[in-house]
A and B are shown apart, each in its own frame.
Chain A
């Protein structure tokens, strides 16, 4: 069945401000398709961002939207979810927003297992501010602040959030919108904290500085760096170097969710009086 995108978009905000060819368009499309497949009311959805290119998304989506401060989207979202556990809370964030300035909030949201879905658009760079290196910029890559090559060791975002306790961890990429939609839908229906890392392209800021200035070329470059989770299992560590496994990386359905746990504690406490 055809998806009515306009149902989910504030069309009066179009045209959007993302660069032509930006991966965020593919990602927002996948998010809308996932919402539509689940047939959730837009009134039951809270969509939250921090700062950066991803932070324009709440302006374009027609639901309860909160465009917050840099790195804090998960804390704002925690407040919404904890005050209204009946709502679906979704956060979109970039690699800098989520893992640098928001790194502390990220690991603690993972640890709490609160039922929020986080989509991290990982394009290896600070796009909006002019191409500074981020916590996921590869070693040797050029950025506005690493003109002779980056020396910082990057985070593996999916491994980071898995280690911090996220109970649903998936990695997708902008070269496969269909798989991405499926992974996001899986995160939305997962009861607990879910993270979907999306390998995305910033040809404008990252590509131009690293000899892949064309959007399609960069998306192809990203696609070629991915292997399916199943393939990855058969590969040696040497073969997996510079490769990213995509698909559902981790899911724990045993762990209880934060708001549910809190309600149990309060029920117990109220018996005490």
Chain B
């Protein structure tokens, strides 16, 4: 079923502000109507949590610091079923602990937002240094089959904008949604323009209709809340339209999991977003996201100054990945490069979509991606050493 849309004045007076990515994300959450936050401190996301403490009074919201990330994600799901618009924030190690709850949220279709400020890993890694190592974790970290939505901001402005979008998508599709920022964006300070109004999407409702199945082709059933007279039955076990456990019924399992996956996959091109730069005559395509895309933009303009016809494809949604847009962008290029602050994650997705050789450019030194790393990578592998 379709969500409802409400337009409200932005909580912050419309103006230009100078703030940190973590703070902009918190402001985006408040603008999106977030009224429940549960979290556990972890570098480099703590500034976001602290900002939420101060700002939640704007939405008459509640803040609770839980005993760990497992407790945080679980509290979010409880709040989501109680009708709240919940959010938490974390980084890689905390995200690992949240995976159990992410699976439960996907299975019970509880809207919630997780802002992941990625740091250099694995394990404790370099807590204060950037990385982009959680791309697969957000998508495949919990067991078995499910889908999520993940957005990747490349600026402080987008930390604000995409956090609002994350709430709206979570509500519209009843799915856990991630803002996959990294430390470089989280701790970056730059200008944010706050508009006059904010669009808030609300989960579909239809009193009396079953909350776990629908004939609607978008595959999103209505979601009532506790205390609205429906005496809901919510379970992480396989269930039918009304939530009754169906743990021995193969048809019910096939139908439920098929719908959980299908409601996102079937809408993938609708959800997917991307931007392109200098693609018109490009022979070299650079596919980059998040902080790396900033370096990539600089790199392609420098390459062009040297006569290399380079263009940039920047996905704003990493999950689902903008497949049609990527195919179009890569149609007439000679080589494709994917610079990342990891040992090669999105490159695998790009290879899968394009069915061709794609060159990874990995910079895993706990630093933000440098334009020179991309320029060197392109020159080295495109046979253009000068």
Residues of A whose CB lies within 8 Å of any CB of B are 10, 13, 42-44, 46, 48, 58-59, 62-69, 72, 75-84, 86-87, 104-105, 107-108, 262, 266, 269-270, 273
Docked CA distance A46–B62 (Å): 19
Q: Beyond A64-B231, A65-B231, A83-B83: 18 further Cβ-contacts under 8 Å?
A: A43-B227, A62-B231, A64-B227, A65-B233, A66-B81, A67-B245, A72-B71, A75-B71, A75-B74, A78-B78, A79-B38, A79-B78, A79-B82, A80-B78, A80-B226, A83-B86, A84-B82, A269-B57
Docked CA distance A66–B101 (Å): 13
Contacting pair B231 A87 (CB below 8 A): no
Contacting pair B231 A63 (CB below 8 A): yes
Contacting pair A79 B67 (CB below 8 A): no
B68 / chain A contacts, CB cutoff of 8 Å: 104
Interface pairs (11), CB distance under 8 Å: A43-B228, A64-B227, A67-B237, A69-B100, A75-B75, A75-B78, A76-B78, A79-B38, A79-B79, A83-B36, A105-B71
Residue B175, interface by CB 8 Å? no
Select which of B38, B74, B76, B232 is within 8 A of A68 by beta carbon: B74
**Which 9 residue pairs are nearest across A and B when measured between Cβ atoms?**
A79-B78, A75-B74, A79-B75, A76-B78, A67-B235, A79-B79, A83-B82, A83-B79, A108-B67
Chain B interfacial residues counted at CB < 8 A: 42
A79 / chain B contacts, CB cutoff of 8 Å: 36, 38, 74-82, 84, 86
Docked CA distance A65–B67 (Å): 24
Chain B binding surface, main DSSP class: mixed
A87 / chain B contacts, CB cutoff of 8 Å: 82, 226-227
Docked CA distance A83–B36 (Å): 7
Contacting pair A83 B71 (CB below 8 A): no
Closest to A104 in B: B67
Closest to A46 in B: B226
Contacting pair A76 B66 (CB below 8 A): no
Contacting pair A13 B75 (CB below 8 A): no
Closest to B245 in A: A59
Contacting pair A77 B78 (CB below 8 A): yes
Decide yes or no: A72 and B231 within 8 Å by CB, A67-B237, A82-B79 being known contacts: no
Closest CB in chain A relative to B225 CB, distance in Å: 8
Decide yes or no: A76 and B233 within 8 Å by CB, A13-B244, A105-B67 being known contacts: no
Select which of B38, B60, B101 is within 8 A of A69 by beta carbon: B101
B67 / chain A contacts, CB cutoff of 8 Å: 104-105, 107-108
